[in-house]
Amino acid sequence: MGLPAAISLSRGRVLDLSGPHYYQDMLTGIAQEILMELAEIEKVDLPSLPEEEFEQVVSVTQIRLLNELYYCLGQLRAAGVQLEVKQAIQDLRDIWNRYIDTTGRPDILKFQEEPGQWQVQ
């Protein structure tokens, strides 16, 4: 077994992993997928939402990022490719936060890391 040429996200989008930077391609694909979902939600005019509802959008967005990452890592593991989960979370966080910066979205949408948050058992 080895690296698959492609994997799919939970909602069906296929990520091409055939290039030499498959790991980066996977993380970028996850971030781009969630950004597209966020763009749909933003049509509601996020700044006009009450603070509690806006915080729910932020929480759901971060949950979606992690769910997609775990879904992809599971497919890779099934193919015999083991990646460090904690490092993948940190790398996805960095990519996501750069996208938030470059798209001018509010900093609250950044994927925050709290001390000890991602300790894998």
Identify residue 10 by its one-letter amino acid code: S
Q: Quick: pLDDT tens for 59-79.
A: 999 999 999 999 999 999 999
Four-CA torsion 73, 62, 45, 35, nearest 10 degrees: -30
Q: Quick: pLDDT tens for 13-62.
A: 999 999 999 999 999 999 999 999 999 888 888 778 888 988 898 899 99
End-to-end CA distance of the chain: 26
